[in-house]
Amino acid sequence: MTQNKMEWGQVRQKLLSLVSHKNYTPLKVNELLNEAGVGEGNHKLGKDVISELVREGVLISIKRKGLVKAGEADLLTGTITFTKKGAGIVTITNSANTFYIPKGETGTAMPGDKVVIRLSRKRNRSGESYTEACVVRVEERRCRTVVGTYHERGRLSFVTPMQSSIPMDIVVTDANGANVGERVLVKLDEWDDPSLPPQGAVTELLGAADDPQLDTIAVIKSYNLPEAFSEEVIQEAEKSGFSDDDYVGREDLRESFIFTIDPASARDFDDAVSLIPKPDDCWELGVHIADVAHFVTEGSALDREAYERGTSVYLPDKVIPMLPPQLSNGLCSLNPNKDRLAFSIFMTINSRGQVIGSRFANSVIHSKLRMSYHQAFQALKSPPGASFPEWEMDADVVSLLKDAWTIAEKVRKHRYDNGALHIDLPQSFINIGKDGKIASIDPVMQDPAHQLIEEYMILANEAISRAVAEQEMPQIYRIHEEPDPEKLAELEMVFIEAGISPGNLSAPKMLSRLLIKISDMPQAHLWCMKALRSLKRAVYSTSREGHFGLAKEFYCHFTSPIRRYPDLIMHRIMKGLLVNNRNVITRERMDQICFQSSDRENRAISAEREIIDQKKIRFFQEQLEADNAREFDAFVTEVNNFGMTVELPEAQ
């Protein structure tokens, strides 16, 4: 009797159903297929599905036992990063949970690799129990090339990696003509024995390590950042467009006064806002987001590329966009005086800064004014009746902007009253000169203009997440889990030792109140940094865990689809809801996107920090050697037997 041919999704569902059962025990491949009801006639397909589930980290193969579902044994899969001292930090797949891996227990893992770890419980000298982990094996080698400086010592050739997160030198088997002190790209050999150092061959000579003009290209290659778009992607972008026919079924907002506020140097405008007074001292806030989903359809070359990139990367002297410029700076950008397709969130806000109603619509807008943060801030602090004709801002526009800030202030206060964290750290913008060196370090002020847009975008993200959740549909949440109790206890001791009574930080809203309490102290910067380091990292997840830092039960990313892939997915979900389509995307696919997007976000952050650190090191080295060296105010953050550690707020 011939068995009916099965579909990929059908086999996948049968396998997942079986391994998720509470009574499941590990089975070998053929046993698993037979037990799941996948007969011999479908075994080849079944084995392909199992291979994919293993690659995705959904299943783990345990030697001499069989296949188990990740997270349901003492083995877990995740992505590993390294501290400068060589210890590992593994972030578990589809989770914000992290585990510390002691130096010497990381095996042959390299930064960014997908690894399998084993958990164990140990006790410290005080008898307290704690969890420790070790790397069992590298499941997927993602770090295949390394950028660093070439050295020779006797007959030994090696490369010191540029990435501070790679805590070991690479032994060079083929120098390919490299000179000592040259920056090179090394292709790594297979590395299976942790008792031996990793090895590799030089494949590209990048130039002198002390040439600052090579810093950016070195970071791009070091983090394997994608620069050029494929011909297929470019052609698809160039064919994109819209006409009056695309306005059908959209709310026409082209006559509404809609404006944007962005950095002066911005080229892509994701979001615009509008504000209309309503009865009973209420306002209708409109947040209008570029309708990227109209142009980037599921499964297209543009979509596949955006998924792979995950996010735009912002280096001091270069932007690597998620989407081609034809879209990111063109059709999708909410440029002034241009008709643009958008997705609009309308929220009714009462006199206390609370959202009391919301609605959503596909729309077409025509932004009337583009403001920079500087221009908006000047308008906000201007006297009554002021106007700025040089910026096309008459008195009515300035008055509306002030109303917008009054509302945002109330929204902000309401958020802090609910327990949102007030972490106000100094930030700076690094200007790079033509010689590749830092030309200036300029402070970035979190003034009311920045805060206004921030509050409105947070409201929009929350409104979208809540609307999807109310329909009991899966979504990509932006979660920020509560800190570990151990971290909070350590933070309490830091404040107590400094003579500050923190209260019980594990109690709701206490950390928020403490940060507000210390915000005017001279050491506020130091305390905020210590508080920040006690927090978990925000990630993407299909599980609703809330956002601790923002004090939001429902939260997602929606307002930046030009530069973040999860936002694009949430647009597709919302557009589906408007036409009662609840099957836009499966939860399994969203789990994959959460992991991929969190990983790509971490890569982007690491690359941005790496290049900034490189530039700052050069800058301060020159200052140390200069006759008229600049003086900087500094905070002492740590004192030990070896000296002390300081932070320079001006250079953060």
What helix, strand, coil percent values describe the chain, rounded to 5? 35, 30, 40
Q: Which residues contact residue 66 at a Cβ distance below 8 angstroms, ignoring those fewer than 6 apart?
A: 26, 27, 28, 29, 31, 32
Q: State the Cα–Cα distance between residues 159 and 151, nearest whole angstrom.
A: 6
For the ranges 61-70, 172-181, 304-313, 555-564, the lowest mean pLDDT is seen at 61-70
For the ranges 188-197, 363-372, 450-459, the lowest mean pLDDT is seen at 188-197
In sequence order, what DSSP letters do the residues of 419-462 get, joined into one string? T-------EEEEEE-TTSSEEEEEEE---HHHHHHHHHHHHHHH
Looking at per-residue pLDDT, the higher value among 522 and 276 belongs to 276
In sequence order, what DSSP letters do the residues of 236-287 get, joined into one string? HHHH----GGGGTTSEEETTS--EEEE-TT-----EEEEEEEETTTEEEEEE
Q: State the Cα–Cα distance between residues 80 and 586, nearest whole angstrom.
A: 27
Strand partners of residue 100 = 89
- Looking up tokens 């997160």 gives 165
For residue 428, the model assigns a pLDDT of 82
User: CA angle, corner 249, sides to 244 and 251, nearest 5?
Assistant: 90
Domains annotated for the chain, with CATH where assigned, are 8-69 (1.10.10.10), 75-140 (2.40.50.140), 145-210 (2.40.50.640), 231-481+536-614 (no CATH), 485-530 (no CATH)
In sequence order, what DSSP letters do the residues of 455-466 get, joined into one string? HHHHHHHHHHHH
For the ranges 140-144, 282-286, 484-488, 580-584, the lowest mean pLDDT is seen at 484-488
pLDDT digits (tens, 9 = 90+) for 617-642: 888 888 888 877 778 888 787 787 77
For residue 23, the model assigns a pLDDT of 63
User: CA angle, corner 598, sides to 593 and 599, nearest 5?
Assistant: 100
Quote the pTM value: 0.84
Q: State the Cα–Cα distance between residues 216 and 225, nearest whole angstrom.
A: 11
Q: Which two tokens stand for residue 613?
A: 């650190």
For residue 95, the model assigns a pLDDT of 66
Q: Which two tokens stand for residue 546?
A: 């809330």
Q: 193 near 212, Cβ under 8 Å?
A: no
For the ranges 35-44, 50-59, 265-274, 337-346, the lowest mean pLDDT is seen at 50-59
In sequence order, what DSSP letters do the residues of 476-541 get, joined into one string? -EEEBPPPPHHHHHHHHHHHHHTT-----TTSTTHHHHHHHHHTTSTTHHHHHHHHHHTSPPPEEE
Give the residue-averaged pLDDT of 581-599. Answer: 91
Q: State the Cα–Cα distance between residues 13 and 609, nearest whole angstrom.
A: 41
Helix (H) or strand (E) holding 207: strand 199-208
- Looking up tokens 């509008």 gives 274
Half-sphere exposure of 490 (CA within 13 A, CB side): 11
% of residues, the chain, pLDDT over 90: 61
Answer whether residue 102 shows pLDDT above 60: yes
User: CA angle, corner 333, sides to 561 and 356, nearest 5?
Assistant: 60
Answer whether residue 515 shows pLDDT above 50: yes
For residue 248, the model assigns a pLDDT of 95
Mean pLDDT score across all residues of the chain: 90
For residue 20, the model assigns a pLDDT of 81
Give the residue-averaged pLDDT of 239-252. Answer: 95
For residue 76, the model assigns a pLDDT of 81
For residue 1, the model assigns a pLDDT of 43
**Highest mean pLDDT pick, 68-77, 463-472, 584-593:** 463-472
For residue 429, the model assigns a pLDDT of 84
pLDDT digits (tens, 9 = 90+) for 406-460: 999 999 999 999 999 988 777 788 889 999 998 888 888 789 999 999 999 999 9
Q: State the Cα–Cα distance between residues 61 and 356, nearest whole angstrom.
A: 51
Q: State the Cα–Cα distance between residues 599 and 603, nearest whole angstrom.
A: 6
Answer whether residue 129 shows pLDDT above 60: no
For the ranges 160-169, 181-190, 274-283, 525-534, the lowest mean pLDDT is seen at 525-534
Q: 79 near 101, Cβ under 8 Å?
A: no
Looking at per-residue pLDDT, the higher value among 105 and 72 belongs to 105
For the ranges 390-394, 488-492, 547-551, 607-611, the lowest mean pLDDT is seen at 488-492
